[in-house]
Amino acid sequence: MMKKLKSLLYLALAGLQMLAFAACGPRENENDANKTKLKVSYFKAGYGEEWIVQTAKAFEKKHPDVKVVLEGNFDMENIVKTRFDSKDPSLLSDVFTVCNPYFYLDYQRKGYLEDLTSMYNEEVENGKTSVDLVDPRMNELIIRGGKYYGVPWTGATTGIVYNVKMFEKNHWQIPSTMDEFVSLCYTIKDSGTLPLVYCGAAAEGYFLNPMIAWFAQYEGTESFEEFFKYESADVYKKEGRLKAYEQVARIICDNKIVSRASKSYNHLAAQREFIKGNAAMIVSGSWIETEMSEFLSGFPEFEMAMMPMPFIKADKTDKDGNPALRTNTASGDVFVIPAQAAQKELAKEFLKFMNTQEMLELFVKTTGGNPRPVQIDRKDWSKELNTFGQSVMEIWQNSYNIFQFSTAEIYQKGQIGPFLANSGSPVTFMSSAKTVEEGKNKALQLYNDDYAIAVQRFTDYG
C-alpha cells in the first residue's frame, strides 16, 4: 500500500512539473507540435517577464523550427536546486537562471553544469565574442578552472530612489555627500514629509548594497579589491568598512530621517509607502519599477529616479585624498545549461543570441532600464526609457560596478563574507539603537566583531 501511495505521489508531482511548463509559457498550438522544444526556466521576480517573452519570440523568429517553452517562478532558485539534486534528467530545463553564487559554485563542483567555453569564444556579431562582451569583473564568478560555466543575466543598480516631482516642487537638490544628504533629510522632515523609508523586515533593508558601495568609495579600488581576496582576517580592519556601517547608523537611527515603522516593512510594503508619497526617498534598486508595475498603475503621475551614492567625505575623496570613484553595487546572476540538458547546443545558441546588441537593448527597455553586465553600445536612452530608466543607466554606465564575489576558497566554501557579525545581519542589529550616537557605537561593535569572527574562521579553516 505504501509503495503504491509513493508511486501515485511521484506521478502527481511529475504531472505538476509538466503543468508548470505549460502554464508559464505560451500555449503550444498545432504548428508547434513538430518543432524542437527549448525549455527555459527563470527567476520570476523584480524584472518581470516581458524581457524573456520578447527574447523567446525573437529567437523563434530566427529559428522557425524551434519553440521556446518558458517557465517562470519566484521560487526558481530552490526549484533548480531540487531538480539538480534529484539526478533525474527528465526534470531539467535546457536553460536555468541561478542567482545564488554559492549554488553556482556547488553545481559546478558537482559536474551539473555544461562547459560553455567554446560558446564564449564563438562570434556573437561584428567580430566580437562573448569573451569580448562580458564585463571582465564578472569573469571571477563565471570562470572556474579556466572554463566558463555561466552567462551573466542581470547587472542592476542599487542605492537611493527619490520622488522626482516632490523634489522638483520643493526645489530640493540631489545631495552629493552624506553631510548634504542628512541636511536634505532634515529639510524634508521640516516640510512635513518623511524623508526616507526602508524595508527593515526584508533583505536587511537593502542597505547591504549601499554599504559595499560606500566601502569601495572610501577605500579606493586597490584597497577595496584587496578585501575580496580574503587572504587573511586583517582585511576586516579596513577603515572603509567602519565608515560604511556608520553611514547606515546615521540614517536608520535618526528619527528625523526614518520612522520606526520601517523596521516592520517588507520590501513591497516599503515600496508602496514610497509610491503613495508617504516618503520622499527609499533604499531600493533598479528592479523597483518593474516589480511594482501593477501598483504603479494606480499612480499615473508618479515619477521616480535613482541618485548616485553620496560620497562619505565632504571633499569627495577616498581615504588617501584621491578623487573618490562613483560606485554601484551590482548583482551577479547567471544563466546556466545543465550538463544533462536535452538541447545543449540549441541552448548555447540561445545564450549567445542574448548577447547580441539587439537583445541587450531589448532587456534594458523591457525591464525599465535594468542593465546586464555585457557591453552595450548605446549610450543615449532618452527616447527609449523614462526618467527612472535613464537614471539607472546613467549610474550603471558611469560607475565602478561591484560584483560581490571572490575566488578565495574560504569564501567559496561559505566560511567568510563581507558581513559576519550578528549572523550577517548588521542593519537589524543597528536598528535597535535609539540615537545616532548609540547606532555608531553599534557600528563600531559590528566592525570589531567582524574581525574577531574572521580571525576565528581563518584559524579554523587552517
* Residue pLDDT, tens place only, 401-427: 999 888 899 998 889 999 999 999 999
- Measured CA to CA, the distance from residue 138 to residue 404 in angstroms comes to 10
Mean pLDDT of the chain: 92
Structure-model confidence comparison of residues 74 and 445, the more confident one: 445
Nearest by Cα to 96 from 287, 334, 332: 334
Tell me the DSSP string of 186-212: HHHHHTTSEEEE--TTSGGGGTHHHHH
* Contact call for residues 253 and 229 (beta carbons, < 8 A): no
- Measured CA to CA, the distance from residue 231 to residue 301 in angstroms comes to 51
Three-class SS state of 243: helix
Three-class SS state of 315: coil
Average pLDDT over residues 345-374: 96
List Cβ neighbours of 247 (8 Å cut-off, separation of 6 or more).
Answer: 178, 210, 211, 214, 312
Nearest by Cα to 328 from 277, 396, 263, 379: 396
pLDDT at 10: 34
Tell me: pLDDT of 12 over 70: no
pLDDT at 30: 65
In 277-333, the DSSP E strands lie at 279-285, 304-307, 327-329
- Measured CA to CA, the distance from residue 373 to residue 351 in angstroms comes to 14
Torsion of CA 99, 104, 107, 112, to 10 degrees: 80
Half-sphere exposure (Cβ direction) of 321: Cα atoms closer than 13 Å: 0
What are the backbone angles phi and psi of residue 188, rounded to the nearest 5°?
-65, -45
Structure-model confidence comparison of residues 14 and 439, the more confident one: 439
pLDDT at 25: 45
The predicted model scores a pTM of: 0.89
Beta bridge mates, 402: 329
Grid coordinates standing for 58?
525573437
- Measured CA to CA, the distance from residue 307 to residue 287 in angstroms comes to 15
Tell me: pLDDT of 224 over 90: yes
- The alpha-helical segments, DSSP class H, found in 235-343 are 239-252, 267-275, 288-291, 293-296
DSSP 264: G
Region of 326 (left: φ > 0; alpha: ψ -120 to 50; beta: rest) is: beta
Which helix (H) or strand (E) element contains residue 131? helix 130-133
Q: Output helix, strand, coil percentages for the chain, rounded to the nearest 5.
A: 50, 15, 35
Average pLDDT over residues 430-443: 97
Structure-model confidence comparison of residues 253 and 144, the more confident one: 253
- Measured CA to CA, the distance from residue 366 to residue 346 in angstroms comes to 24
Sign of the torsion angle spanned by Cα atoms 439, 441, 442, 444: positive
Average pLDDT over residues 229-234: 97
pLDDT at 17: 41
- Measured CA to CA, the distance from residue 179 to residue 194 in angstroms comes to 18
* Contact call for residues 265 and 142 (beta carbons, < 8 A): no
Tell me: pLDDT of 131 over 60: yes
Tell me: pLDDT of 46 over 60: yes
DSSP 378: -
CA distances to 21, 24, 323, 449 from 32, in Å: 15, 16, 58, 59
Grid coordinates standing for 358?
539587439
Instruction: Report which residue type is found at 316.
Output: K
Grid coordinates standing for 393?
543607466
28 pLDDT band (50/70/90 cuts)? low
Tell me: pLDDT of 231 over 90: yes
Looking at the chain, the whole-number percentage of residues with pLDDT higher than 90 is: 85
pLDDT at 100: 86
Grid coordinates standing for 225?
579589491
Tell me: pLDDT of 154 over 60: yes
What is the C-alpha radius of gyration for the chain, rounded to an integer number of angstroms?
A: 23
Tell me: pLDDT of 230 over 80: yes
DSSP 362: H
Average pLDDT over residues 227-241: 97
pLDDT at 430: 98
Tell me: pLDDT of 450 over 80: yes
Tell me: pLDDT of 20 over 90: no
pLDDT at 14: 37
